[in-house]
Amino acid sequence: MKTPSAAGVSASTSSDAGSDAGSDAGSDAGSDAGSDAGSDRAVRLSLGYKVQWGVAALGTSFVSGTYGALLPIFYQDYLGLTARWIAIASTLYAIWNAINDPLFGYITDSTKSRHGRRIPYMRFTAPFLALTFILVWFAPQNAGQPAIFGWMLATMLLYDTAYTIIGLVYSALLPEISESDAERNGLQISSSLFGLLGMILGFLIPDFFRPKAGMSPSFVPLQVSMIAVGIFSALMIIVTTLRVRERPEFHQGDEPLKLGPAFKYTITSRSFLVLVAQNFMSILMQALLLGAVFYLADYVLQINAMILVACLFVSLIIGVPMTSVLRRRLGVVGSQRLLLLIAGVALISVVVVPTQLIPLCLIAAGFGLAGPQTLTNVLFAQVTDEDELRSGVRREGAFFGVNALLTKPAQSVALALIPFVLEATGFITREANQGQIMLEQPASAIQGIKILAGLIPGAAMILGAIILQWYPLQGAYLQKVQREVLDLHAQKHARQGAGR
């Protein structure tokens, strides 16, 4: 019996692998063998498929990396919006996040269409993502605090709506189009590498065009660059949707759960709740580090920010493919815990080492960040496999939606924490210094920046590693789940074929 296949996917059981070898296996021979239970029956994906899968991450991470790195300094330092207004915007933003992620997750899970329940949302939201991202950077200058606040809030909410739909759908597709830890790890390596490229560009582009000391204070070059970023990112997302195909036994064969049972199955999954708690710590770390890196470069080290970006991302790029090696030796959760500990210790060291050694700490932290960057979605895929055995249907949208509901507030916490810590430690903004950068900040402000970039995110990483000791999907139980979910998929595929 042949298991489900999508465009560019070869999927065969061991009983008919020989008959399929001539037609499919040749193009997909490069797939990881893996050590998953039943991996010989799991869907195999070609290298070309994995590459095109990752292209969407270039688009999403380009806009999100730019947004995360530039938003705090743009609105607080460049436009002079006070911490109080930013905190209000962050709170309202968090409330909207609490609504839209599980809402869109449930909607996509419940969609039944011959075109799929995920891809259409991803493809047709991409232009809207570009438009709303561009508008963020066109706030009216010198219009007063309420007007700047209103623009920031409105554009944040619109941008986040589009980003939520695309990000949620992209994440939810991973467990559907792949069935083994090895294949999922391979897809995540591709999306992580493209995503890292997008994040690097997300630092480079605004750093080239943002106002700096000795430069014109005009925002026009930055705004033009943001238009280009938005359009390019939308096109990259659309490119992936032209290749990826959904599996009809899920979007046509599965009967969606009603809202009540769907919510109950989600919040009663111990595996999911433990993973969400760890992921909250990772999101908090990433948001703080992204938001603080320009401060760390400009005011603590007084070097080009790209040097720090290189320290983080070169080692992160090395670490991403290494997750495959670690996974084969330690398993997915064991590898994740090790890498979280490495990142945590390295980040905490930022506060205590001499200033000139901070780049070395970021190099070590970058390697450790390969875990959250690459393995988290593989763990979520395990969770959805377990849930399919409980509920009978694939519900990736619900899990990623509720995950976002519970973890996205970490972004708002970071967004509000940065200006409050800086104000509390005596940081002097450009707006308060007559529009000129104040490089010689008080010692207390320097320490505040180190705390934001090192101590708090480092502690979050170590706490995340500790939390994962209670993750149930390990060892014999995980192997049992992997075998049983492949049997269930074979049954669904057979029913779908019989119904044609």
Residue, of 257 and 435, whose pLDDT is higher: 257
From CA 293, how far away is CA 148, in angstroms rounded?
24
What is the band of 30 on the pLDDT scale with cuts at 50, 70, 90? Answer: very low
pLDDT the model gives residue 44: 77
The chain-wide mean pLDDT, for the chain, equals 84
- Phi first, then psi, for residue 17 (nearest 5°) are -60, -35
Largest CA distance in the chain: 75
From CA 152, how far away is CA 155, in angstroms rounded?
6
Q: Does 20 have pLDDT greater than 50?
A: no
pLDDT the model gives residue 244: 86
- Residue range 468-477: mean pLDDT, rounded: 95
What is the band of 24 on the pLDDT scale with cuts at 50, 70, 90? Answer: very low
Q: Does 65 have pLDDT greater than 90?
A: no
pLDDT the model gives residue 6: 35
What is the band of 342 on the pLDDT scale with cuts at 50, 70, 90? Answer: very high
pLDDT the model gives residue 293: 86
From CA 358, how far away is CA 444, in angstroms rounded?
18
Q: Does 500 have pLDDT greater than 90?
A: no
Residue, of 403 and 207, whose pLDDT is higher: 403
CA distance readout (Å), 257 to 107, 108, 168, 486: 11, 12, 19, 21
What is the band of 165 on the pLDDT scale with cuts at 50, 70, 90? Answer: very high
pLDDT the model gives residue 214: 56
pLDDT the model gives residue 37: 61
- The contacts of residue 43 (CB under 8 Å, 6+ apart) are 3, 4, 5, 6, 9, 10, 11, 177, 178, 179, 180, 183
What is the band of 29 on the pLDDT scale with cuts at 50, 70, 90? Answer: very low
Strand partners, 45: 9
pLDDT in tens, 319-335: 999 999 999 999 999 99
pLDDT the model gives residue 16: 35
Q: Does 33 have pLDDT greater than 50?
A: no
From CA 186, how far away is CA 228, in angstroms rounded?
30
From CA 111, how far away is CA 184, in angstroms rounded?
24
CB atoms within 10 A of CB 240: 25
Residue, of 480 and 491, whose pLDDT is higher: 480
CB atoms within 10 A of CB 99: 10
Residue, of 34 and 488, whose pLDDT is higher: 488
Residue, of 42 and 126, whose pLDDT is higher: 126
Q: Does 384 have pLDDT greater than 70?
A: yes
pLDDT in tens, 172-209: 998 888 888 889 999 999 999 999 899 888 878 888 88
- Residue range 269-274: mean pLDDT, rounded: 96
SS3 sequence of 136-157: HCCCCCCCCHHHHHHHHHHHHH
What is the band of 46 on the pLDDT scale with cuts at 50, 70, 90? Answer: confident
Q: Does 316 have pLDDT greater than 70?
A: yes
Tokens of 111: 């969609």
Share of the chain above pLDDT 90, in %: 45
pLDDT the model gives residue 252: 63
pLDDT the model gives residue 128: 96
